[in-house]
Each structure stands twice: as C-alpha cells, then as structure tokens.
Chain A
Amino acid sequence: MSDALIARLRQAVIDAEPDDALALVRELLAADVAPTLILDGGLAKAMLILGEMWKSGEVFLPEVMAAAAVFTICNEEIEPVLLASADHKVGAKVLLATVKGDMHDLGKNMVAAMLKMAGFDVIDLGTDVSSAAIIEAVIRETPAVVGLSALLTTTMPEQRSVINALVAAGLRDSVKVLVGGAPATQEWADAIGADAYGQHAPDAVRAVKELVGVLD
C-alpha cells in the first residue's frame, strides 16, 4: 500500500498540488512508513523526475518552482520525524544573498528554489545584504557555498567587496563563492576571485554541485 501512496505523492509533487501532497505525507507518516523512504522515494525522486522532464523541455521553470514549493512544505512536515530518526542525511549548506544596495531578488529566489530541489540546505539572507552581515552568517552557518546576486552594474562590484571581506576575515578558504546576476560574466567571476559563475538558476545549481563535488 505504501508504494502506491508514495507513487501518488511523487505525482502530487510533480503536479505541484500542495494539499494532496501534504495529505499523502501525513497518511504515510501515520502508517509508520520510514521518513527517509517518504523523502527519498517520494519527494526527492519526484524532483529528480521533474529535473529530467525540465532538461528534456517537457516542463518549464515555473513548473519546477511550483513543485519545489510543494517539496519544501512536505519536507517541513517530515523534518521533525526525520530528525528524531537516526539515519537522516542533510545536503550541503548554501548561503544566498543579494548584495548591498540591490533590492532585486527574483533571480536569487529562482536559484534558492532550484537548489532546494536539488537537495541543498539553503539559507537565504534576502536583499541589500552588507558584507558584514554575510561574514556574520558565514561564521554562524559554516556553509559550503556562498552565492552572491546583483542586477545593477553599480552594485555588481559589491560582489568583489564581499570576497575581499571574506579574505580579510580569514574565511575565504573555508567557503566557495558563486556569483550571478544579469551583468555578471565568467570573466567578472574570474577577475574578482569567485570560484564559480552561474548564468541562470539551473546553471547555478550545476555550479554549486561542481563546487561541492556532487555528481549529476
């Protein structure tokens, strides 16, 4: 019975139906199905399937974003049970921020959703985030990767400032830095000493996976 329920859960995530998915998660938990099985066989598998559908052009980014939101809701339901069990594993931590002076966060939000979908633990610091606040968060959260977003040509140099601040704080070697945003390029990333550049949200996920050594 649980196999059929998990199959229905996968479909509900793929179809981005939050109510259906949440009801199925609760039903599975009530039936004492292992939370890792619900997560791996249901939620994560659904995102994997959706990822393949996205690559083939069968679904588009908005459908992936909607499914990622359902994934997050279901994951929150499972998490307490999962934490209570011994065998949960957590993906690498990624810290995201739109740099100081910049209020644009659409691109960063897309990156956050797609990283969550790929199993990463995402901490989003929001927009207009100062170097100091990013340094503080790096110390607090010890992420594997810091992703810095900027849309304006006038705020893009702030990505360099954050990297310089990481160096000054002696943290540069402890964390990889990813940059992105409309005016950013690979050349820019190289010039400011970033570790990677994401051309768009899916490419940012590719870059983060490479940085932390996760194979597709």
Chain B
Amino acid sequence: MGPQPTVRAPRTLGRRLAYNLLDATEIEATHQATLDVLEHTGVTVRSARILTLLAATDAIVDLERRLVKFPPSMVEAAIAVAPSEYLLAAREPAFDMFLDRSRGYYCLEGGPSDIVDLASGKVRSPTSQDLIDATRLADSLNEISFLWPSVALSDVPPADQAAHQTYLQLANSTKHVVAMTTYNSRDARVVLELGAAVAGSAAALKARPVVSSFVCSISPLTWDGPPLESALEFAAAGVPCGVVCMPVSTAGAPTTLAGHVVIANAELLSGITILQTLYPGTPTYYCPFSAEMDLHSGNMDGAWGPGPVLFNLVMSQLGLRYGLPMSIGTNGTGAKTQDWQAGAQHALTLMGTLACGNVDLIASTGGIDNSRVFSLEQVLLDCELWDIAATLLDGIPFTEEYLAVSVINELGPGQHYLAHKHTRNHMRENWRARFFQSQTWQEWEDLGRPDPRDAARKRAREVITTYVPEPLPDDVDREMRSIIDRYTTAGGSA
C-alpha cells in the first residue's frame, strides 16, 4: 500500500478551472426564464405558518391553493441581501470552512439506507456503530472537510434520526457536521441545542456554527411544510441552512437540460427568497443536485453520463452569477460495487466538478447504487481521486531550484538522477498512489490478484479499529446526552 499522509491538514481544492458552457446572454436568458416561472407559476408551500408570514410580504400568496408567486424584484432583493461569504466552523479550527469561493471542500456521503459490511462484503441495514465507524474514518482523512450523516440508523426511531446522527458525528469527529435529516422544527431545535452544547452557547454557535443543515424542495416547484419550517429555526438561530433541490429530469423536470436547469434554479431561488425575505441576511447556500430518469424503468438513471456534469457546469455558472456560496454534487454512480463503473463515474464527475469554477462545498464520497448504499472502501478510493484532483490544482513550482538546470548541467548526458541530492530533496513532493496498483504481474499473482478495493478494505478496517478521534469534553458529552434524552422522551419518538 502507498503512503498515508502524516500531517493532519485539510486537503481542499484551490483555484479551479472555469469552463463557461453558456455565454453571458444564455445565462441571462436562463435567469429571466426562472423569474418568469416564479412570477407566473410560483411554488407550492405546504405550511400555513409560512404562507401567513409570506402573505405580509411582496409575495402573491393564495392561501387556499397554498401557492406563492414571487415578483422579480423580490427575488432580486433576496439574492442581493443573502450573504456572499461566511464561516462553517469545525470543532477543530484547522478544519474551518470559509465559504468565499476560494477553496473547494469535500463531504462524506449522507443518507444511504444500506451499507456494505466490511467483513462479509454483503449489503445490510446500518446501525449507530456504522455511523461511528464512517465518521471516524472521515475524521482521519485530510481529504474530507465536512460530514453528512453517512447512513440512516436502523437502530434508532425515524423521528430521532437527526438527534442521534448529529450527536454521534460531533462526538466522533472534529469536523463540521451537516444535519441533513432535519425534517421538522423539533429536529432543528435538537440539532441547534446539540451544536450550542459543543460551541458553548447559542451565541457561540452563531459565531462559530459547528453544525448546519439544509432544506430540500420536492420537484417540481414544491416545498413541504415541516422541512421548510425547520429551515426557519436555523435562520432564527443565525445558523447556516442551505437550500437544495434534486429534480429528476423527464419526471420532476423537463427532459431538456435547459428546462431541467430552469426548474432547479426556480426551486433554489424560491427557497432562498423565502429565507431571505423572512430572515434577511441569514447564511444559506445555493445547492443544485440532480439526476436523470431511466427512460425505460422510470427509476433514477444509474448511468450518470455527461448529463449531470453538464447540469453542474450550467448551475455553477448561475450560482457564481448570483454571488452565493454554493454546493454541487459529484460522484454519482449506479455501480453496485467499487468497480470500473464506480471508479470511472466518480473520476469523470469529479473532473467535471473541477471545471465548475470555484464552488465551495462538494458532495460527496462513499456512495454507490445512486447513493442508496454506503461503502467505507469507496470513501478511501474516492479520496485518492480527490487527492489527484487537488494536486492538479495546486500548481507546480517552476523556480530555479525546480527547473534544476544546475543539476542537469552538472550530470550531463548519459548519467542518471537517482543518486543526486536534488532527487532526495524533492522526490517526496511528488504525488504517490495509495490504492492504484503498480506491482509486477508476478507480484500481483503471488498476492492472490488483489484489486485496489482489497487494499482499501484493509485500510478501512485498520482505521476503524485503531483511530481515536479527539473526544468531546466530558461535561459537553453529558450535556448532549441529556439533550437527546429530553427530546426523545418528550414525544415524537416512534
């Protein structure tokens, strides 16, 4: 196996490439098309409370049909008042993420309902221990800067997922935690309390939000009530809450890429407009996720070809036009194992992501089977690809020392560089593989024809049995456990 980094420091993406798929006129036309939809069709909001609040604003609210239409001026004002940069803090300040389009941060997968068992290789229902293992593995990896709850917990009632996931992740990692399963106000409040316990107080959490969340629309053009109300809890606490959409083209959005983009943009701008109108200046981000429909079965298409990459390229141009912090999805795969398909799809979508300009948050690593299944090995293999991507963007020194003219002239023709001190001084700066293989055929045969997965599985086992994250202080841990006890005994627990 190749080298493991010894220095703990975030491995982030630096200056990105920006491939402008659309020209300025096309971007503007897409923006205007979105405003048209928001003004003339609007979105459904399934919350009487939010509809009432919006009725007192410039929005055109039809309470009976639960429909909200947004005058263009209202949308433009919301974009203008949304903060363009802010902090997502970590328990360990070295892993703070400042969202200002200067760095790209990688995220642990969230939400899968199944996991690949490390011992048997079979898929099974995950438990709390699996989330602990995944969180510790992610905490050990420099490539991962923030955490989604990597698996749904089969040993915890559905209504208590957010509380338990957030606690387990904060307790087993010093990195920023995104509580993506805050589906109602109660979920939001327990997550905010847990965050405040770690930060020291609600005010300290606002200043250094070690947890955040996001809210996701239902395509097309619908906001469910309780999740949107949970976003207001975060906004009221001054804690970041992203706005996410996941339209599946052909089913929940037009089949054309441009139409798919308009639905996604309308959903994101409607969510951002609602948040910024009710809580001006609250930190949020623009987060377009997408998928395509398999034309034959109607399922999500696991082929993840060029479509999602093109979608990301266009959406990132829009997000950057709005000047908002942004998150996009990478690593879509329908593969069932950590195989050629998973590797190729993860590598190609990641390369596409590099061309999306300076996107802040990049999700995610560890998912297979359209993110239905989580795999610890996949996390390690993905991080190898991320490390390559980060290296491509690091830049290359071309100073006198690195041009090495004096060394070349000194050795002259016909010599080699193996023994020169210049080699020893610099060779460890070169990228080296951890999991890509380079043994001889005979060595490979002698080892029993291993593939990179085997090495990744072995490494994952090592990490989860030996790695100890920085624990929470005892009093904080006690406080968090009592918060969970209070919430899970205060009703709502199934």
Contact = CB atoms under 8 A, between A and B. Distances in A.
A103 B158 contact: no
A153 B152 contact: yes
Given A183-B372, A200-B297, A202-B297, A103 B218 contact: yes
A99 B12 CA distance: 41
A145 interface: no
A54 B297 CA distance: 10
Nearest to A154: B158
A179 to B, nearest CB: 13
Interface string A148-172: 0000111111100000000000000
Q: How large is the interface on A (under 10, 10 to 19, 20 to 34, 35 or more residues)?
A: 20 to 34
B218 A200 contact: no
B372 A201 contact: no
Contacts of A154: 152, 158-159, 161, 181, 183
Nearest to A102: B224
Chain B interface residue bracket vs A? 20 to 34
B297 A61 contact: yes
Nearest to B223: A103
Query: Which residue, of B111, B183, B255, B299, has the highest number of chain A Cβ atoms within 10 A?
Result: B299
B64 to A, nearest CB: 18
A106 to B, nearest CB: 5
B296 interface: yes
Nearest to A182: B372
A200 B111 contact: no
Interface of A is mostly: loop
Given A103-B46, A153-B158, A200 B224 contact: no
A107 interface: yes
19 contacts: A61-B296, A61-B297, A62-B255, A103-B46, A103-B224, A106-B251, A110-B298, A153-B111, A153-B158, A154-B152, A154-B158, A156-B113, A158-B158, A182-B300, A183-B113, A187-B125, A199-B297, A200-B298, A202-B297
Interface of B: 46, 111, 113-114, 125, 152, 157-159, 161, 181, 183, 218, 222, 224, 248, 250-252, 255, 293-300, 370, 372, 494
Interface of A: 54, 57, 60-62, 101, 103-104, 106-107, 110, 152-158, 182-183, 185, 187, 199-203
Query: 9 closest pairs, A vs B, by CB?
Result: A153-B152, A60-B295, A183-B113, A154-B158, A200-B297, A200-B299, A61-B298, A153-B113, A110-B298
